[in-house]
Structures are given as structure tokens and as C-alpha cells.
Structure 1
């Protein structure tokens, strides 16, 4: 009875190549890479704008300031290319464009704008500033007219951020977290990402100030805003989250929201709306079922091997 045959039957040959990374490992690495790119591009560019000095939208600080806004979008594009090169499908919790988007996106846009407008009206009743259409017209004229104003409001913020925060980070975080938990965590990350803008002249964050009630409320507001855009993403994808982001930013700029009482009202109303939307919407897809591990068949003894 040859000894070599017995050894072969007891110790099967090991695979020649190491196992490929599991789906959670790839998801985690993609999420980390996205965050590094989003923060790296934005913070390096905004640090350059801070070092150059001057106002955000005036040369020479305008270029690095604008480039910094696209950090999340650049990160999203890198992750998308990386995923396609690996031949992987779209993440399970990603929401693709579908026909219902044409219904939900405009509806959620109106709802998001109404949340800001109603908060401003309630704040006025509580002693806050009155709404002024003249101030809104001045803002649009300063930016080159209504068309230029609307285009800038779409690009700066909604388009430059939502494909990253919601389209890339959100579905990967949803694989291991609940929707409310992702909204809270991503809202905090979003607030930290905005931090350099408090040191660039000409930005809304600089006007509010970092160590002021307005600055603190701005940081807090990113959490219900993250939940609101996430609820839009769950229902109709990135297009809907872009629409909500655009509606909130545009309405706040036109109403010149800077008073803490108005900011607090907006935070409260958006939190209520976001929670209701998340609670009443069906998740885009459930967590991936864990497939049972098939039992390993015993190795067939080689010819001449000892059988029990």
C-alpha cells in the first residue's frame, strides 16, 4: 500500500490562486476610496482657495473653489469605472432610473421647496424676517438673470454632489445599515465635508460663521437634508435626489435664509418630512440573502488508498 496515495486522500490539494475578495470587502474598499477622493479633491482645492485669498466666485480663488465642489462627483466616477472594470453588477441597493422618476422627481421637488417656504412663513410668525420678493430678484440679477441663476444652482451642489453622496456612498452603506442610520451617519460626514467653506470669503458658510448659532444650525441641518435626499433617492434614484437638493438650495437662497429661527424651523420640518417619507417608502431592494454553504463532498480516495 503506497504511502503517497494515502497522504493525497487525506490532504487535498490547495487552490493555486487565492480567493477573490468577498462582496462586503469590495463594497467597503469602494466606499473608503470614494470618501478619500471626495474629501481629498474638495479639501485640497478649497485649501488652495483659502491660501489664495479673495472671494469664492472671483478670480483667482474661483477656480479651486469650483473644482472643490466636484469632489463627490469625481469620486463617484472613479468608483463606477472601477466597478465596471471588475465586471461587477450595480450595487444591490442602488436605484436605477425608471419611469416613475418622471412622476416622483417633480413632486418631491415641490415638496422640498414647500418645506423651506413653510418654515420661513412659520419663522416670520414667530418674529423672524418677512419674505421679500425684491430680495429674490436682486439675487438672480446679481448672478446674471434667472436662467444663469437656475443653471448655477443645479450644477453647484445638486449635480456636483448627489451622484457621489446618494448614488455611490448611500447604496454601499445601506448594505449594512438601516435607512435612518445611513441618513444620520452620512449627514455627519456631509457636515464635516463642508467645513473648509467656513474659511472662504463669499460663501454662505463664511457669512454664517463657524462659531455662531447660524453655523452650528447649518451643520445640524445636513442631517435632515441627508435624510430628505435619501428618501428621494429611495423612491426615484439620483435624479430625484438632485431635484430635492436643488429645490432646497434654491428656495433658501431666494429667501435669503440666515436667521437662526428660520434655520431651526427648516431643520424641524425637513426632519419630519424625511422621516415620514422614509417610513412610508418601500426600500429599493432588500439585503442580499445569505446563500447556505453547500456541504463539501468527501474526497474520493485514489486507487490503492486505504478505505475505512
Structure 2
């Protein structure tokens, strides 16, 4: 006897349930790890604090993997606004990397022209040497932040939130959630957030900066998927570390420039296309629609 294996369409309840579960996993895994690091004391770059500190960054990725498995077991197609991996991603990712890095570099140059700190190659060299050289630096910058977060925030949360919100609304809401998720890092010695300080202008600006970043990575995601959003995240973080961006004036300019660029890009972007349909056989031999399962989350 032949049996049908028609894909089950996603419902608002299942999308909402996935989103809530993802947020719960992301926050529980990350905050439990980071507050363990706080309790252990010491620096984030030395044992035993380093282990829970590093593991905490993977909360969003773990949440994304859980939701991906859960969706597959239900036989549901990918969310409407999920972006499958395509070859054009290999072209868009480097382009978005340049755009994101340029927003930070231009802000640093403007800040210097206004009397702020000068750009220094020595600072960049020290940042690279402190972690063991160029290879270790690049690997660390890719894994810590871009790779550990983007499959979750953009690849999982974003398309489910877009089902009921506009681009700018998702950027605002997800940006605020992203800022709150980072809060424990302010209490771990050796982190960038701890150096900035929570109750300082720099700390507040760091929190605010997650909103334009959420919008810029969202644009990259809608254009070419998670790979492009990883490129934006990586370029922004890396350029800020190499330029040692900590001054409130420079931070403010980065927020302003990224905000303008993100708004212009999102305002002119075409809506994300729906997943392509394919056919699956059913019990009566007729084809049944199925969404493109090349989407990863």
C-alpha cells in the first residue's frame, strides 16, 4: 500500500511556538553559561572562565539547530521569508562585507576629522598579535559572533517574525532583543562590553548599535541568506576591533551611518520571494506541493 508524505503547511501557531522556543534556548544557554563565567570570576580569556564564556556565544546557533530538527520532524516547509543558499550568495557576501566595513571605517575617519583619536596600524597589529596571529584572529572573529549567532537571529528568528511584521519593525524588535541578550557580557572581565561599562555612554551606545546592525544584517539576509549576514556581522566586528572603537563620538557616527545605509537598503529592497514549490507523490499518485527544503533553518 502506498502512503502519502505531503508536507504540512506551517501555521501561525507553529511559527510562534518555534520563535518562543528558539528565544528560550538562546537566552537560557547563553545566560546560564555567561553567569557561570561571572560566578567563576577571572578573565574571559583564561581558564576556567573562558570555557563557559565561549560556550555561551553558541546559544542562538543551538536554538537554530533545535528548531530546524523540530520543523523537519513536523514535515513543514521552510518559513515564507527564509532564504535558501544560492550561488549568488558567494557574490553578495563579499559585497556586504565591504559595505559593513566601510560604515565603520568612514565613521572612524569622520570622528578623527572632528578631533577624535587617529587611526593607528599599531593598534590593529596589537589586536591581532594578542590572540596569536592573523589566522587565530580571523578564526576567532568568524566563530565568536557571526557564525555562532547569525543562523539563529537571522536564519531562524527573522523569517518567523517577518511573517507578521514589516522589515523595520523586525529590525527594531530583534535589535532590542539582541541588545538584552548581550547584557551578561558587561559583567565578565576581559570582554569588550566590560571594557565599555554598562552605565556609561559607550555601554549605552553599544546597546543602541544593535538596532541598525539588526537592520543591516537583515538586508544582507534577505539578499543572500545567512552567509551574507555572517559577512556583515564579521566585517563590522572585525573593523571595530582593529580600529579599537570605544569613543562615544565614533560609536555614535557608526550608529548613524549604519542606520542610514540600512534604512536606504531596506526601503529599496524587493520583498523576499516565497520558497519555490516542488512536487511530492501522494497516495493517489497526484503531485503534492512542497516548499524548497534547501533552506537550512
The separation in 2 between residues aligned to 1:37 and 1:22, in whole angstroms, is 21
Structure 1 residue 286: deviation in Å? 6.1
Tell me which residue corresponds to 1:269: 257
Matched, 1:190 2:178: yes
> Could you give the per-residue CA deviations for residues 36-60 of structure 1, whole angstroms, max 9, x where no partner exists?
0000000000010000000011100
Structure 1 residue 285: deviation in Å? 2.6
TM-score (norm 2): 0.89
Contact 2:60–2:149 (8 Å) recurs in 1: yes
The separation in 2 between residues aligned to 1:283 and 1:126, in whole angstroms, is 39
The separation in 1 between residues aligned to 2:267 and 2:89, in whole angstroms, is 19
CA RMSD, Structure 1 to Structure 2 (Å): 1.3
Tell me which residue corresponds to 1:292: none
Tell me which residue corresponds to 1:174: 162
TM-score (norm 1): 0.85
The separation in 1 between residues aligned to 2:260 and 2:135, in whole angstroms, is 32
The separation in 1 between residues aligned to 2:158 and 2:54, in whole angstroms, is 24
Tell me which residue corresponds to 2:104: 116
Matched, 1:127 2:127: no
Matched, 1:281 2:273: no
Q: 2:192 aligns with which of 197, 204, 214?
A: 204
The separation in 2 between residues aligned to 1:227 and 1:185, in whole angstroms, is 10
Matched, 1:219 2:193: no
Gaps of 5+ in 2: 1-7, 276-297
Give runs of aligned pairs for residues 77-92 of structure 1, distance below 5 A.
77-92=65-80
Alpha carbons of structure 1 residues 21 and 274: separation in structure 2 relative to 1, 3 Å: closer
How many pairs align? 268
The separation in 1 between residues aligned to 2:272 and 2:146, in whole angstroms, is 21
The separation in 1 between residues aligned to 2:194 and 2:219, in whole angstroms, is 29
The separation in 2 between residues aligned to 1:273 and 1:22, in whole angstroms, is 33
Give runs of aligned pairs for residues 1-308 of structure 1, distance below 5 A.
23-285=11-273
The separation in 1 between residues aligned to 2:86 and 2:21, in whole angstroms, is 28
